[in-house]
């Protein structure tokens, strides 16, 4: 089974199992990682904002226009920011490293 690492807000690194077909958001919830996901992956908020380790960023599919629009609302946006609900685990992402941002902004209406 693929693995991924979450770097929590305090810098703690947690390696977890990342089942194929689950999103980064779903993997976080499965393991009790503090990643909100207020809209439950429907691309209506930015609360599942994560920062992808630069080594991994170019291995991901490009974000959709809708994801980019939501990312514009994210707190603490960085060059390698993505929404966790839009990254689905496959074999190529075994070892993926993502960092939780310092905070979130829920602009869901």
What's residue 102's pLDDT?
Answer: 82
| DSSP state letters, 23-82 | BHHHHHHHTT-----TTTTSSS--TTEEEE-HHHHTTSPPPPHHHHHHHTT-TT--TTEE
Domain 3-99 CATH class label: alpha beta
Query: What does the pLDDT look like over 31-83, one tens digit per residue?
Result: 999 999 999 899 999 999 999 999 999 999 999 999 999 999 898 899 999 99
What's residue 106's pLDDT?
Answer: 52
Pairing of strands 13-17, 3-7: antiparallel
18 neighbors 2 (Cβ within 8 angstroms):
yes
48 neighbors 25 (Cβ within 8 angstroms):
yes
**Mean of pLDDT values over 77-94:** 97
pTM of the full predicted structure? 0.92
What's residue 104's pLDDT?
Answer: 58
For the chain, the structural domain boundaries read 3-99
């Amino acid at each position: 089974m693929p693995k991924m690492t979450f770097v929590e807000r305090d810098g703690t690194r947690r390696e977890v199992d990342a089942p194929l077909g689950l999103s980064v958001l779903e993997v976080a919830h499965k393991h009790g990682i503090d990643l909100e996901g207020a809209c439950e992956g429907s691309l209506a908020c930015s609360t599942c904002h994560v920062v992808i380790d630069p080594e991994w960023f170019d291995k991901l599919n490009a974000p959709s226009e809708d994801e980019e629009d939501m990312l514009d609302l994210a707190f603490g946006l960085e060059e390698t920011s993505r929404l966790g609900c839009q990254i689905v685990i496959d074999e190529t992402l075994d070892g993926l490293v993502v960092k939780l941002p310092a905070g979130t902004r829920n602009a869901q209406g």
